């Protein structure tokens, strides 16, 4: 995938998320000018970038969406639930396309039809209020169709006579390269059995010398009799280039006739302005030549499409000059000239586009550099190695010192201190690169809460706090799913139906608060709802029914302890299973995920008042490479950092050194000790003939081979420090949780070597 496409995908995802946020905020808090501005800007930029990577379906849908937002801005359309739903549905569709584009480099074949349907649906909202005063269907007719009808109404009437016919308007805008695909647009049009009117648009003025006979520049607009199926069949190979619109048999619109030209001018203006903004915003970065080419092409296409051929040629030439001269200046100048020349209407979104341009150029603090996660991880690993290397430098300095070269060793120590400081700073700054605001993780929640509350018929307000709190990306990534479970549960089981809340003297609209804060090196997330709370008696009853706990244990259990039962595996309090939560895989998944992060989850509740789930995880998790070994029938983890090598030793190489065993490894005698003995487990003496499995461990000057029974696995794991009574136990680095849920003790071999 090209740089441009990659950039498009990641930007589009961001913009879709932004637009979703704004839509939900508008629905919740009402229309605010700056929100609408931001929303328009997001839609507008999406449209512009779709043009840049040449995804016409997306441009089409985004243009209609932009118009809808424009209508909200000018109070022509009320931002009610239906309108917001429609706009969100549009974003969902576009997100699916972006995903498809990311995966396959192109949109699914159905995209053209989907885009047209979406645009029609979006426009039906603008037409609903702004359209025909009699409120009839003609308000939905596209401008080109009503213009065509207006021009040919009398002739069509004459051709039809007294017949009642099913009429359709067809816009066929062939791709410029369609001849190379073997298309002959006239041949398709010829197949329409009852063609009633045809308008052919060709570029108005052309220098024949510049004319490319193999670029299709014609556009066809037709009115024909149905049936629709027949028409669709004729154009089945070019669905993305054709629109077929039902014409109402009775009323013929007049009002929209004049929109076409200005509308087109607006689109062309917007596309060109966008190219300019993109170029300026990206002026310092790499891949500029690709961007120049794409921008010139998109702008020239748009101009040609709008009938501004001379300007189109000018822009195309300027684009070529820009490439030759390796500067964007000629193209930018040509784009500005084209903008002035088209002049006239300023598309509402251009204002906001300019604001975004100012942002991109002015405020250095808002500049971002996108870096693939893998590269950051590579840096983290490299800096880790640097730390190790730095340690060996210390060792070297001591050696020099021991050889009596004090002057040299002092100098080395001084340098080593400096390197140590630098390496530590380096490591920390690189780890900081992985820190991201948790707000990122909270992104999907407003949408989810909105959709679910609509579905349940509940009224819920979501409040988020502390979105700017930063945490390691790995933590943020792993927390988002558990958090989804908690919020779904709060919405499903916590918040009551509006009438129930009203009867209980609560406000009808419930609230769910996600508050994130940083406490030392921990991130604390509290999800609080003001719903019915969790009834410990019901929890106990359910736990007993499920056989999770015995009667005696229940009797001895405090209410607080009973609440913790919701985190047990297989527990669900939903009396009827909803498809949202209550499948019995809710809160235990949360606990497991949080455990794996080395965190803790707890719940508090007051019946009738609400519940709070508190998740507490380390700000950053360092993963350790672990080897899982078996010894005396038990499994232990050993940090790979301490392992120099593993050796399979035939018994004849084992030497008896005094009372110990040892063997020679590269001219060094390495003592052998059994892991079972080291940690005080009953070990079995093996038969003398057996080969021995040894892990060679070096700790400072000490070297030893630790005998184990088997190596089971190697994995990257997050170490959780030993807690409580075990916190001071020697010989253990911590614990980690294996994929199957079992706890693995990770040994600190350096600590327990004799």
Partner 1 sequence: MTVTRRDAESIVLEGTCDAEDAEALLQMLIETPVARLDWRPCNQLHTAVAQVVLAAGPKVQGPCGDAWVEKWLPQGSSDSRRAP
Contact residues for partner 1, defined by CB under 8 A: 151-152, 155-156, 158-159, 174, 179, 183-187, 189-190, 195-204, 206, 208-209, 211, 213-214, 216-218
- DSSP code of residue 492: I
Q: For partner 1, which is the closer residue by CB, 109 or 204? A: 204
Q: Rounded to 5 degrees, what are φ and ψ at 185?
A: -55, -40
Residue that has been written with the tokens 């997001």 in this structure: 42
**Peptide bond before residue 227 is cis, with ω within 30 degrees of 0:** yes
Cβ atoms of residues 42 and 15 within 8 Å: yes
Pairing of strands 470-472, 623-631: unpaired
> How near is the Cβ of 193 to partner 1 at its closest, in Å?
12
Q: How far is the CB of 244 from partner 1 (least distance, A)?
A: 18
User: In which residue are the tokens 């027949």 written?
Assistant: 230
**Cβ closest to partner 1, residue 189 vs residue 717:** 189
CB closer to partner 1 out of 159 and 400: 159
For residue 373, the minimal CB distance to partner 1 (Å) is: 49
Q: Which is nearer to partner 1, 218 or 681 (CB)?
A: 218
CA 250 to CA 132: how far, in whole Å? Answer: 14
Rounded to a whole number of angstroms, the minimum distance from the CB of residue 220 to partner 1 is 9
Whole-angstrom Cα distance, residue 730 to residue 751? Answer: 7
In the bound complex, what is the minimum distance in angstroms from residue 238's beta carbon to partner 1?
A: 12
Least distance CB 194 / partner 1 (angstroms): 11
CB of 178 to partner 1, least distance (A): 8
Nearer to partner 1, 97 or 168 (CB): 168
Write down the least CB distance from residue 223 to partner 1, Å. 8
Measure the CA angle with vertex 275, ends 359 and 23; round to 5°: 55
Query: Which residue number, 54 or 201, has a Cβ lying nearer to partner 1?
Result: 201
661 in Cβ contact with 706 (< 8 Å): no
Residue tagged 């000490």 (tokens): 702
Nearest-angstrom CA–CA distance, 205 and 711: 79
Length of the chain: 754
- Specify the residue, 198 or 333, whose C-beta has the smaller distance to partner 1: 198
CB of 471 to partner 1, least distance (A): 60
Cα-to-chain-centroid distance, residue 112: 24
C-alpha to C-alpha distance for 360 and 283, rounded to whole angstroms: 10
- For the CB of residue 174, give the shortest distance to partner 1 in the complex, in Å: 8
Q: How many CA atoms, within 13 angstroms, populate the side-chain half-sphere of residue 345?
A: 15
Q: Which is nearer to partner 1, 108 or 193 (CB)?
A: 193
DSSP reduced 3-state for 709:
coil
- In contact, 338 and 311? CB cutoff 8 Å: yes
Residue 181 or 451 having the CB closest to partner 1:
181
Q: How far apart are CA 68 and CA 52, in angstroms?
A: 22
Strand order in the sheet with 610-618: 460-465, 510-519, 522-529, 610-618, 600-606
165 or 360: whose CB is closer to partner 1?
165
Minimum CB distance to partner 1 smaller for 208 or for 364: 208
Buried b / exposed e along 132-144 (16+ C-beta atoms within 10 A):
beeeebbbbbbbb
Secondary element (H or E) of residue 400: helix 373-402
**For residues 179 and 426, which CB has a smaller minimum distance to partner 1 in the complex?**
179
CB of 89 to partner 1, least distance (A): 37
Q: Residue 436: helix, strand or coil by DSSP?
A: strand
User: Could you give the CA distance from residue 131 to residue 111 in angstroms, rounded to a whole number?
Assistant: 27
Residue 344 makes CB contacts below 8 A (sequence gap 6+) with 262, 265, 269
CA distances from 279 to 58, 295, 371, 413, 726 (A): 21, 8, 20, 52, 60
Whether the CB-CB separation of 480 and 441 falls below 8 Å is answered with: yes
In the complex, the smallest distance separating the C-beta of residue 118 from partner 1, rounded to whole angstroms, is 30
Tell me, rounded to whole angstroms, the distance of Cα 536 from its chain centroid.
Answer: 38
Complex with partner 1: residue 193 or 227, whichever CB lies closer = 193
DSSP 54-97: T-HHHHHHHHHHHHHHHHHHTTSS---HHHHHHHHHHHHHHHHH
Q: CB 311 → partner 1: shortest distance, Å?
A: 18
Integer Cα distance of 711 and 277 in angstroms: 59
Which of 208/727 has CB closer to partner 1?
208
Q: How far is the CB of 181 from partner 1 (least distance, A)?
A: 11
């Amino acid at each position: 995938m090209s740089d441009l496409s990659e950039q498009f995908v990641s930007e589009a995802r961001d913009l879709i998320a932004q637009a979703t946020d704004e839509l939900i905020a508008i629905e919740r808090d009402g229309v605010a000018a700056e929100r609408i501005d931001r929303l328009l800007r997001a839609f507008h930029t999406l449209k512009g970038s779709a043009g840049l990577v040449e995804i016409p379906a997306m441009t089409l849908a985004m243009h209609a969406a932009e118009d809808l937002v424009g209508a909200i801005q000018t109070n022509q359309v009320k931002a009610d639930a239906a309108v917001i739903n429609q706009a969100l549905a549009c974003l969902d569709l576009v997100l699916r396309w972006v995903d498809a584009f990311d995966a396959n480099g192109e949109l699914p074949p159905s995209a053209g039809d989907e885009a047209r349907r979406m645009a029609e649906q979006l426009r039906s909202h603008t037409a609903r209020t702004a359209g025909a005063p009699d409120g009839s269907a003609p308000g939905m007719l596209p401008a080109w169709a009503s213009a065509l009808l207006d021009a040919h109404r009398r002739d069509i009437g004459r051709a039809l006579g007294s017949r009642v016919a099913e009429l359709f308007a067809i816009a066929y805008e062939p791709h410029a390269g369609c001849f190379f695909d073997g298309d002959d647009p006239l041949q398709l049009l010829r197949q329409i059995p009852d063609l009633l009117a045809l308008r052919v648009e060709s570029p108005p003025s052309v220098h024949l010398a510049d004319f490319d006979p193999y670029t299709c520049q014609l556009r066809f607009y037709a009115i024909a009799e149905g049936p629709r199926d027949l028409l669709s069949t004729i154009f089945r190979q070019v669905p993305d280039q054709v629109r077929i619109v039902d014409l109402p048999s009775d009323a013929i619109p007049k009002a929209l006739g004049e929109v076409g030209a200005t509308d087109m001018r607006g689109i062309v203006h917007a596309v060109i302005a966008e190219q300019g903004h993109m170029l300026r915003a990206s002026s310092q970065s790499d891949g500029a030549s690709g961007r120049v080419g794409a921008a010139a092409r998109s702008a020239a296409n748009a101009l040609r499409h709008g009938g501004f051929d001379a300007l189109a040629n000018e822009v195309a030439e300027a684009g070529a000059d820009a490439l030759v001269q390796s500067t964007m200046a000629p193209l930018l100048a040509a784009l500005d000239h084209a903008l002035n020349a088209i002049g006239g209407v300023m598309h509402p979104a251009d204002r906001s586009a300019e604001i975004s341009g100012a942002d991109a150029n002015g405020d250095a603090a808002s500049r971002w550099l996108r870096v693939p996660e893998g590269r950051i991880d590579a840096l983290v690993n490299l800096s880790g190695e640097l730390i190790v290397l730095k340690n060996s430098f210390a060792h070297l300095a001591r050696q020099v010192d021991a050889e009596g070269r004090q002057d040299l060793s002092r100098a080395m120590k001084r340098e080593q201190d400096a390197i140590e400081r630098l390496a530590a700073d380096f490591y920390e700054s690189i780890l900081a690169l992985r820190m991201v605001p948790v707000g990122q993780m909270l992104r999907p929640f407003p949408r989810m809460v909105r959709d679910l509350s609509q579905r349940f018929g509940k009224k819920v307000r979501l409040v988020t706090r502390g979105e700017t709190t930063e945490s390691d990306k790995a933590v943020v990534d792993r927390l988002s799913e558990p958090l989804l479970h908690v919020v779904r549960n709060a919405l499903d089981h916590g918040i009551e139906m509006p009438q129930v809340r009203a009867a209980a003297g609560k406000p009808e609209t419930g609230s769910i608060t996600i508050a994130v804060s940083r406490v030392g090196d921990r991130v604390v997330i509290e999800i609080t709802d003001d719903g019915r709370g969790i009834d410990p008696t019901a929890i106990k009853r359910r736990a007993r029914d499920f056989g999770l706990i015995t009667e005696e244990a229940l009797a001895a259990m405090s209410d607080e302890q009973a609440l913790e039962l919701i985190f047990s595996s297989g527990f669900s309090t939903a009396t009827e299973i909803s498809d949202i939560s209550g499948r019995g895989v809710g809160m235990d998944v949360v606990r497991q995920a949080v455990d794996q992060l080395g965190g803790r989850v707890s719940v508090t509740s007051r019946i009738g008042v609400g519940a709070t789930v508190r998740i507490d995880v380390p700000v950053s998790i360092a993963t350790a490479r672990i080897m899982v070994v078996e010894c005396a029938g038990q499994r232990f983890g050993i940090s790979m950092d301490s392992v120099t090598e593993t050796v399979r030793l035939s018994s004849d190489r084992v030497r008896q050194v005094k009372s110990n065993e040892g063997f020679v490894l590269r001219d060094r005698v390495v003592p052998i000790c059994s892991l079972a003995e080291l940690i005080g487990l009953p070990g079995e003496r093996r038969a003398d003939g057996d080969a021995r499995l040894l892990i060679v461990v070096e700790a400072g000057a000490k070297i030893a081979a630790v005998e184990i029974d088997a190596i089971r696995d190697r994995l990257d794991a997050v170490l959780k420090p030993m807690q409580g009574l075990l916190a001071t136990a020697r010989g253990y680095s911590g614990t980690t949780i294996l994929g199957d849920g079992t706890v693995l003790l990770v040994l600190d071999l350096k600590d327990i070597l004799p």
